[in-house]
Amino acid sequence: MLIFRWAIILTIFILSYFTGFAAYTGTLWKVWGETLGGDRYAVMFWSGLAYLLILGPLFALICILVKSKLKHPALGLLFYPLFCSLSFIVPTAFIFLFNGGGSLLSAEAQLFYSFFAASGLTFGLGYGIISIIWRPKPPMQNESLEHVQ
C-alpha cells in the first residue's frame, strides 16, 4: 500500500507540473496574446529543473510541517494548497539567478509566478485529498480492552 501511495504522490507531482505549464502558456496567451514558439524547450528545461531541485523538496517540507500542526485532517484541504502555492517566488528566483538576474517584478517573472502558484495549488489540493483518504484510523477502544483482559 505504501508503494501505491508514493505512486499517487508522484502522479500528483507530475500533474501539478503540467498544470503549472498550462498556467504559464495560458497567462502568456491571455495577457500578452503570444505563444511560446521556440522558447517552449527553454521554459520546460528551466521550470523542470527548478521544479525538481526546489519545489519537490519545498512541497515535501511544507506538507510535513502543515501536517504536524493540523488538529483536523480536513483543514489540510485549505492549508496544503495555500502554503504550497505561496512558495512560487522561490523557484522563480532560482531561475532568474541562473539566467543573469532580472527583476522579480518583470513580465517574465509574472509568467513563472502563475506557473508555480498553479503547481502549488494543484499539488497541495492533491496531497490534501490523499491525506484524508489514507489517514490512520485510531484503534477502537473495545477491541484493545478485550485483548488485554
Neighbours of 27 (CB within 10 A): 18
Number of independent structural domains in the chain: 1
Task: Look at residue 139 and tell me if it is in a domain.
Answer: no
Q: Does 110 reside within a domain?
A: yes
With respect to residue 143, please indicate whether it lies within any of the assigned structural domains.
Answer: no
Q: Rounded mean pLDDT of the chain?
A: 85
Q: CA–CA separation, 125 vs 26, rounded Å? A: 21
Determine the average pLDDT of the residues in 36-61: 88
pLDDT digits (tens, 9 = 90+) for 75-89: 888 889 988 988 888
Looking at the domain assignment, is residue 146 inside a domain?
Answer: no
Position 95 pLDDT exceeds 80: yes
Q: Could you tell me if residue 48 is inside a domain?
A: yes
Q: Output the 3-class SS for the chain.
A: CHHHHHHHHHHHHHHHHHHHHHHHHHHHHHHHCCCCHHHHHHHHHHHHHHHHHHHHHHHHHHHHHHHHHCCCHHHHHHHHHHHHHHHHHHHHHHHHHHCCCCCCCCHHHHHHHHHHHHHHHHHHHHHHHHHHHCCCCCCCHHHHHHHHC
Over residues 105-127, the pLDDT tens digits come to 877 888 889 999 999 999 999 99
Q: Which domain holds residue 11?
A: 2-134
- So what's the pLDDT on residue 28? 93
Share of the chain above pLDDT 90, in %: 26
- Is 140 inside a domain boundary? no
Residue 36 confidence class, pLDDT cut points 50, 70, 90: confident
In a domain, 89, yes or no: yes
Q: Is residue 30 part of a domain?
A: yes
